[in-house]
Amino acid sequence: MKARESGMPDEQMWDGFFDTDAILDGLGICDLSGNIVDLGCGYGTFSLPAARKNKGIIYALDIEKEMIEAVQTKASEAGLRNIHAIQRDFMMEGSSLPDDSCEYVMLFNILHAEHPLKILAEAKRILILGGRAGIIHWNYDPTTPRGPSLDIRPRPEQCQEWIKAAGFELIKPNINFPPFHYGMVGQKL
């Protein structure tokens, strides 16, 4: 099940919307030794840089076969052996990863899906005790060049409520990632 309004622009345009290093560093996704999951990895915009910055396995999951093939090709060309790209409908079937097996879950531009609490519950299930979930989403601003329509685009306060409702402690409640995104981090207790 694809997230609502989840179509992707071409890769060059998409990559231009993010300062990946600033986002990964700001969310604390660097120098980790445990496994990391990128739910809805797309082109690998964050999976590949995360693989360079961390020692554990990066599980890059996406429903689209073309996205998984792109991530596999780029990882191979870059000599990154710690990326496992998996085609999976994680919104309907879960991630298939074992309970308590990951140190970090990346939830980037995905909580506009119809069931954000289901995604957060899956993130919590696969995280180790003390593991973290990082969220970024498009600012709630109609002038952003992309992002879901405002009627389904979550405001930061909504994401904060959802992460608490899913049983996480909100340890970084509001991070600004200009010009288009905000972020936050929750921790599994």
What would the pLDDT profile of 142-159 be if each residue is shown by its tens digit? 999 988 999 999 999 999
- The residue extents of the domains of the chain are 11-188
- The pLDDT, as a whole number, for residue 6 is 60
Mean pLDDT lowest for which of 18-22, 68-72, 143-147? 143-147
- The pLDDT, as a whole number, for residue 133 is 98
pTM: 0.94
CA pseudo-torsion sign 127, 176, 137, 36: negative
- The pLDDT, as a whole number, for residue 41 is 97
- The pLDDT, as a whole number, for residue 93 is 95
pLDDT at residue 107 above 60?
Answer: yes
Calculate mean pLDDT across residues 103-125.
97
Calculate mean pLDDT across residues 12-26.
92
Confidence of residue 13 (pLDDT cuts 50, 70, 90): confident
Class of domain 11-188: alpha beta
Calculate mean pLDDT across residues 121-128.
98
Confidence of residue 12 (pLDDT cuts 50, 70, 90): confident
Average pLDDT over all residues of the chain: 95
pLDDT at residue 4 above 60?
Answer: no
- The pLDDT, as a whole number, for residue 15 is 86
